[in-house]
Amino acid sequence: MAIEVGAKLEGKVTGITHFGAFVDLSGGVTGLVHISEIADNYVKDVKDHLKLEDVVKVKVINVDKDGKIGLSIKQAIDRPEGQPAPQQREPRAGGFNRGGGGGGGGQDRGGRPFKSSSGKAPYGKPSFEDKMSRFLKDSEERISSLKKNTEGKRGGRGAKRV
């Protein structure tokens, strides 16, 4: 039987590695399910999702010239038409978002709400001056904190400086 791209087959897990799982298809043909193709959500450890001798349904996603077969478990799942696959990851709150609208709207990178110079939260985006003053304030606080924590640590091994 020839293995074709797009075919959905059943196979048995014969090996598990940190980067994926080897699945034995019919006739001694073995393919690899990469860790990114095991589940719709983030997979930290393959062993959390698969065990040796598990029978899994896989979809053939590629066949190399040298005979290597790429498989996917998450693409083999039949979903009703119009239902998209769940997103790989949720955007983190407070993350750097250029698109506007995401990240909680009206928050800086640390998740704190923006304040204008008048002390009121703005309706739209903060002005450039507000952003600069916020940055300078935060920067000065970080530098003073670093200086406080490193002043007594110079010199090392008890040697006195002259």
- Please report whether residue 87 resides in a domain: no
pLDDT, residue 154, reads: 63
Distance, in Å, from the CA atom of 102 to the CA atom of 138, rounded to the nearest integer, reads 23
- Please report whether residue 161 resides in a domain: no
CATH number at residue 44: 2.40.50.140
Of 76, 93, 123, the last residue of a domain is 76
Indicate if 114 and 66 belong to the same structural domain: no
Measured at the alpha carbon of residue 90, what is the angle toward residues 86 and 95, in degrees to the nearest 5?
A: 160
- Please report whether residue 141 resides in a domain: yes
pTM: 0.51
- Please report whether residue 22 resides in a domain: yes
Q: What is the pLDDT along the chain (162 residues), one digit of tens a residue?
A: 578 899 999 999 999 999 999 999 987 899 999 999 999 999 999 999 999 999 999 999 999 999 899 999 999 988 776 666 665 454 445 444 444 444 445 555 555 555 555 555 556 677 888 889 999 999 998 888 888 887 766 655 555 555
The whole domain housing 144 covers 105-151
pLDDT, residue 147, reads: 83
69 bridge partner residues: 63
- Please report whether residue 72 resides in a domain: yes
Cβ-based neighbour number of residue 54 at 10 Å: 14
- Please report whether residue 159 resides in a domain: no
Q: How many domains does the chain have?
A: 2
- Please report whether residue 20 resides in a domain: yes
pLDDT, residue 28, reads: 82
Of 76, 96, 115, the last residue of a domain is 76
Indicate if 66 and 111 belong to the same structural domain: no
Token pair recorded at residue 148: 């406080």
Of 31, 59, 76, the last residue of a domain is 76
- Please report whether residue 47 resides in a domain: yes
pLDDT, residue 78, reads: 80
